[in-house]
A = this chain, B = another copy of it.
Amino acid sequence: MQCDSRSLRGVIPALVTPIDGQGDVDERSLEHLIRFQLDAGVHGIFVGGSSGEVALLDGAQRATLVKVAVGMVAGAVPVLVGAVDTGTRRVIEQARKAVALGADAVVVTAPFYVRPNPREIVEHFRLVQAALGHPVVAYDIPSAVGSRLTPDIVEELAASKLVVGLKDSSGDLVTFREIVRRTRRMDRQGSFPVLSGSELLADVAIELGAHGLVPGLANVDPHGYVRLFHAASTADRAKARAEQDRLAKLFEIISVADLGRIGFTAGALGAFKAALALRGIITNGATNVPLSALNERELEAIARILHETGLAPDVPLHVEVA
Number of copies of this chain in the oligomer?
Answer: 4
Bitwise, A254-270 to B at CB < 8 A (1) or not (0) is 00000101111110000
- A157 to B: closest C-beta gap in Å: 13
Structural contact, B174 and A201, CB atoms closer than 8 A: yes
Q: Quick check: is A208 within 8 A (CB to CB) of the other chain? A: yes
Bitwise, A189-216 to B at CB < 8 A (1) or not (0) is 0000000001011001001100000000
Q: Quick check: is A242 within 8 A (CB to CB) of the other chain? A: no
Structural contact, A289 and B59, CB atoms closer than 8 A: no
Bitwise, A38-72 to B at CB < 8 A (1) or not (0) is 00000000000010011111110100000000000
User: For residue A55, which residues in chain B have a CB less than 8 angstroms away from its CB?
Assistant: 86-87, 90, 111-114
Structural contact, B58 and A117, CB atoms closer than 8 A: no
A142 and B16 alpha carbons, distance in the complex (Å): 28
A140 and B61 alpha carbons, distance in the complex (Å): 28
Structural contact, B86 and A117, CB atoms closer than 8 A: no
- How many interface residues does chain A have, given as a range? 35 or more
> Which B residue sits closest to A198, measured CB to CB?
B174
> Which B residue sits closest to A90, measured CB to CB?
B58
Q: Which of the candidate stretches A121-129, A271-279, A298-306 sits at the interface with the other chain?
A: A121-129
- A309 to B: closest C-beta gap in Å: 14
Structural contact, B290 and A120, CB atoms closer than 8 A: yes
Within 133-177 of A, Cβ neighbours of B (below 8 Å) are at 144-146, 171-174, 177
Q: Quick check: is A181 within 8 A (CB to CB) of the other chain? A: yes
Structural contact, A262 and B111, CB atoms closer than 8 A: no
- Once A89-B288, A173-B201 are accepted as A-B contacts, the answer to whether A119 and B61 lie under 8 Å apart by CB is no
Structural contact, B56 and A263, CB atoms closer than 8 A: no
User: For residue A263, which residues in chain B have a CB less than 8 angstroms away from its CB?
Assistant: 114-117, 119-120
Chain A contacts to B: CB under 8 angstroms: 23, 50, 53-59, 61, 84-90, 92-93, 111-117, 119-121, 123-124, 126-127, 144-146, 171-174, 177-178, 181, 198, 200-201, 204, 207-208, 245, 248, 259, 261-266, 288-292
